[in-house]
Structure 1
Amino acid sequence: MKTIKYAVCAIALTTLSFGAFAAHSVTPLQAESMTKIGVVSADGATTLDGLEARLASKAAQAGASGYRISSAVGNNKMEGTAVIYK
């Protein structure tokens, strides 16, 4: 029983800490007040949601607090780019 409690607690803390560092999508108006720090790209996603998740993950890995998708193309294999901001 203690093992289950510890496992649930560890999962909850991991989820909370990941959320603290995740980049989020920003609007063009919000982007105006942020500093552009680069561009990330992703490919291999099968849906737009999957592509957005990959771009958000890459933005977070690059240290960005926000991103704005600038292109998305493809049918079965999506690829796209996003401008990242801090």
Structure 2
Amino acid sequence: MKNLTKALAVIALSTASFATFAATEVSMAPAGEQSIGTVSASTNGGDLSTLQGKLAAKAAQEGATSYRIVAAGGENHMYGTAEIYK
């Protein structure tokens, strides 16, 4: 029982710390935040949600707190660009 409690605590803490580093997708420029640039990503054979995940990861890697997808397209090869904010 003690090991189960420790395991659940580790899972909860690791999930909480990951959430603090994730960038949030927004539909328009967030009030009080400034644009810090753009990121772009592409995927072969993926769908729009895969592309969205890659853009979110790149935004978080750049230190953004939020991002807004400004362009996305393709059929078999998806590509997109997002403006990032902090």
TM-score by length of 1: 0.84
The corresponding residue for 1:39 is 38
Percent identity reads 48
Give unmatched runs, 5+ long, in structure 1: none
Q: After superposition, where does 1:41-80 map in structure 2 within 5 Å?
A: 41-44=40-43, 46-80=46-80
Separation in 2, partners of 1:33, 1:12: 30
Q: TM-score under structure 2 normalisation?
A: 0.84
Within the alignment, does 1:84 sit opposite 2:84 as a pair? yes
| CA distance in structure 2 between the aligned counterparts of 1:35 and 1:12, rounded to whole angstroms | 31
For the structure 1 residues 70 and 10, does the alpha-carbon distance in structure 2 shift closer, same or farther, using more than 3 Å as the test? same
State the Cα RMSD in Å.
Answer: 1.8
Structure 2: gaps (5+ residues): none
CA distance in structure 1 between the aligned counterparts of 2:70 and 2:60, rounded to whole angstroms: 17
Say which structure is richer in helix. 1
Shift of 1:75: 1.3
Question: CA offsets, 1:48-84, max 9 Å, x none?
Answer: 1111111011101100001000111111231111000
